[in-house]
Amino acid sequence: MGYYSGVSQFFGGPATRTVKTIIIINVAAFLVQIIAQIAGIRAIFVAFALIPWRVTHELTLWQFITYMFLHGGVFHILFNMLALYMFGNELERYWGAARFLRYYLITGIGAGACSWIVGPESSIAIVGASGAIYGILLAYGLLYPNRIVYLNLLLPIKVKWMVLIMGAVAFLSSVTGGEPGVAHVAHLGGMLVGYVMLRGPEWLGRYVMHREYQRREKLKRQFEVYYGEVRRKIDQDKKKGPTIH
């Protein structure tokens, strides 16, 4: 995939600091994972992959973070890191490093949490940054909906439609089971958590405004009742005529 935005940009432009660091950590973790696999050491995978059953019964809560840095194969990590590079760089430049890193980690953790909620007794290990990557794609689609993305470097499509299609596929796959070995719930969860993060402040602002409006209307009604009583008493006093002392 690549995109064109009216200027000579391709594959996300120069790598930003946080994106570069995340890629380096993922590649290093993957190499350690491969070496451990060749050596027949499963302890690393079991300890750091997200295994819902272990979270439920052994409270291995760190797995909600560590699972994002393990991957199921070369193509798995290649796709995730390529998508992160292509779309994450511009988001980091727009948001800044701190907000970008916070968004990346929370969407990844949220994606893992969604998988755990759906199957708390599952013993199938979940690995990969895909949940966070889907969150990145959603954010990019909301910020730059009309950017043109070239799927497989051939098919031009607007980012908003690509995100919608990927979200629909993740939803249908999570309902029907989809392709074995793919954590579709995590993909969908990353998008949902990302959407709440991005739209949540707006929703909260509307809620606060609505509550303030209700409070003012209540005070207004109370004042009208009080003012009405005062006016009726004044009118009654006027009808009685003057008081003679």
In what helix (H) or strand (E) does residue 150 lie, and over which residues does it extend? Answer: strand 148-151
Q: How far apart are CA 233 and CA 226, in angstroms?
A: 11
Active-site residue 130, yes or no?
yes
| Sheet with strand 148-151: strands edge to edge | 2-4, 148-151, 155-158
- Read off the pLDDT of residues 83-126 as tens digits, 9 standing for 90 and up: 899 889 999 999 999 999 999 999 999 999 999 998 899 898 99
Tell me which residue range forms the domain holding 23: 2-201
Q: Is residue 147 part of a domain?
A: yes
Q: Is residue 235 part of a domain?
A: no
Average pLDDT, the chain: 81
Question: Would the pLDDT of 226 be above 90?
Answer: no
- Counted domains in the chain: 1
Q: How far apart are CA 215 and CA 56, in angstroms?
A: 43
Q: Is residue 153 part of a domain?
A: yes
Catalytic residue (choose from 71, 115, 130, 184): 130
Q: Is residue 244 part of a domain?
A: no
**In this structure, which long-range contacts are made by residues 138-146, counting pairs with CB atoms below 8 Å and at least 24 apart in sequence?**
138/163, 138/167, 138/190, 138/191, 138/194, 138/195, 138/198, 139/91, 139/103, 139/194, 139/198, 140/87, 140/90, 140/91, 142/195, 142/198, 143/91, 143/94, 144/5, 144/90
Identify the pLDDT of residue 93.
93
To the nearest 10 degrees (0 to 180), the angle between helices 97-118 and 130-143 is: 120
User: What count of Cα atoms within 13 Å lies in the side-chain half-sphere of residue 122?
Assistant: 17
User: 53 or 232: which carries more pLDDT confidence?
Assistant: 53
Q: Which amino acid is at 78?
A: L
Task: Report which listed range, 25-34, 223-232, 236-245, is most confident.
Answer: 25-34
Residues 11 and 5: beta-carbon distance below 8 Å: no
Identify the pLDDT of residue 166.
75
Query: Alpha carbon of 208 to those of 68, 193, 195: distances in Å?
Result: 35, 21, 20
Q: Is residue 105 part of a domain?
A: yes
Average pLDDT over residues 25-36: 95
Question: Would the pLDDT of 29 be above 80?
Answer: yes
User: Across-strand partners of 126?
Assistant: 50
Question: Would the pLDDT of 128 be above 50?
Answer: yes
Identify the pLDDT of residue 22.
96
CATH code of 180's domain: 1.20.1540.10
Identify the pLDDT of residue 200.
78
Q: Is residue 233 part of a domain?
A: no
Q: Is residue 223 part of a domain?
A: no
Active-site residue 123, yes or no?
no
- Read off the pLDDT of residues 141-170 as tens digits, 9 standing for 90 and up: 999 888 877 665 567 788 878 888 777 776
- Read off the pLDDT of residues 172-203 as tens digits, 9 standing for 90 and up: 655 554 444 456 788 888 999 999 999 877 76
To the nearest 10 degrees (0 to 180), the angle between helices 130-143 and 74-83 is: 30
Q: Is residue 227 part of a domain?
A: no
Catalytic residue (choose from 71, 76, 184, 187): 187
